[in-house]
Amino acid sequence: MKSKLTFSRVAVFPLITALSVIVFGISCQKSSVAENPSSDNSFNQQKLDITNMLIEASASDEENFDMVMENDESTNASNVSNAKTAGKKTVTYSPSKDVYPHTKTIDFGTAFTNPKGITKSGKVIITYYDNATDPQGKFTLTTYDNYYISGVHIEGSIQVNRVKNAAGKFVYLHIISKKVSDATGDVKVYNSNATWTVIDWQDGKNNAYEITAHATGKETYNGIEANNFQTDVDEAKHIIKPFDCKRVQGGLTAEIHLAKGKVKDLTEYLDYGNGDCDDIATLSVNGAPAEEVTLPLRFWPLNL
């Protein structure tokens, strides 16, 4: 996907995405570039962490919604353990999949590694409500029990409400409050509100989501420095996510304030492109020419 990320000179953090926060999955990964004690490297690491956080937050929201919408079978049928994975994942329902409200518990055990090499442990617990009788459209509530993704601790909750718009299309309202932390002392806390509207896309019928989102958050870096950020989906270029693909279209703007470094404020723009289902995006910082990047970012690719 072609993607563009922009950050303006304001500092208050997601999608994501929420979406904006977009800025979907949680990544506290360190730069693949060897670090040294220089202040430049430390500053670049902060930029990397924040940018990855923005991108991965929206990916996290997408992952949660995938888990919400998956039509998992009962416990025995959903045990996952084969040559492509390590460990076991189980899915159970209580009291029953056909009773509302009910809970779906996805238990990744102590170390479940998927074919992409991502290791998860702990539980994701999703409560389903019957929004046909819930006047507020309450659909699901996701919480976590000792849940880790590649060593990153995930806490918080995601509530999804489902309503219909004037055109009769389903609209999913994501209300997200999350905290992610790792063993190095990095802690990110963010809140996001995202709207996922079912649309007809590229001659298809009810086959994609159009996403708008706003998120704010704060990162404590190495247990010391507090960085603030804010992200918003580009109002002129909403994010498009087909049912069978990641984000393929749209833009995300972000405003970042770094607590320490040569540049105190950053404006970034992430552009997901115009319809390609891939992991390619373009990233522009402080109005500089956009450069192609591969998501998720493994190193800080741009010079300031």
| pLDDT single digits (tens) 207-223 | 999 999 999 988 887 77
Q: Is residue 115 part of a domain?
A: yes
Q: Is 251 exposed, middle or buried (0-12, 13-18, 19+ CB in 10 A)?
A: buried
Please report, in angstroms and rounded to a whole number, the separation of the first and last CA atoms in the chain.
25
Lowest mean pLDDT among 30-34, 139-143, 223-227: 30-34
Rounded Cα–Cα distance for residues 283 and 3 (Å): 7
Q: Is residue 4 part of a domain?
A: no
Q: What is the mean pLDDT of the chain?
A: 76
Q: How many CA atoms lie within 13 A of 100 on its CB side?
A: 11
- Per-residue pLDDT at 100: 92
Q: Is residue 60 part of a domain?
A: yes
Q: Which domain holds residue 174?
A: 13-223
- Per-residue pLDDT at 155: 95
Q: Is residue 294 part of a domain?
A: no
Of residues 137 and 50, which shows the higher confidence score? 137
Lowest mean pLDDT among 16-25, 49-58, 260-269: 16-25
Q: Is residue 282 part of a domain?
A: no
Q: Is residue 131 part of a domain?
A: yes
Rounded Cα–Cα distance for residues 153 and 77 (Å): 28
Tally of domains within the chain: 1
- Per-residue pLDDT at 71: 74
**What is the pLDDT averaged over residues 126-143?**
88
**What is the pLDDT averaged over residues 152-163?**
93
**What is the pLDDT averaged over residues 34-59?**
55
* Residue range 71-100, pLDDT digits in tens: 765 443 344 444 456 788 999 999 999 899
Q: Is residue 278 part of a domain?
A: no
- pLDDT for residue 10 is more than 60: no
Q: Is residue 262 part of a domain?
A: no
Rounded Cα–Cα distance for residues 47 and 41 (Å): 10
Which pLDDT band holds residue 147 (cuts at 50, 70, 90)?
very high
- Per-residue pLDDT at 41: 57
In this prediction the pTM is 0.79
Amino acid at 269: Y
Which pLDDT band holds residue 9 (cuts at 50, 70, 90)?
very low
- Tokens found for residue 121: 């442990």
- Per-residue pLDDT at 85: 64
Q: What is the dihedral of CA 263, 297, 223, 58, to 10 degrees?
A: 100
**What is the pLDDT averaged over residues 295-304?**
53
Rounded Cα–Cα distance for residues 301 and 299 (Å): 6
Partners of residue 291 on adjacent β-strands: 283
- pLDDT for residue 265 is more than 90: no
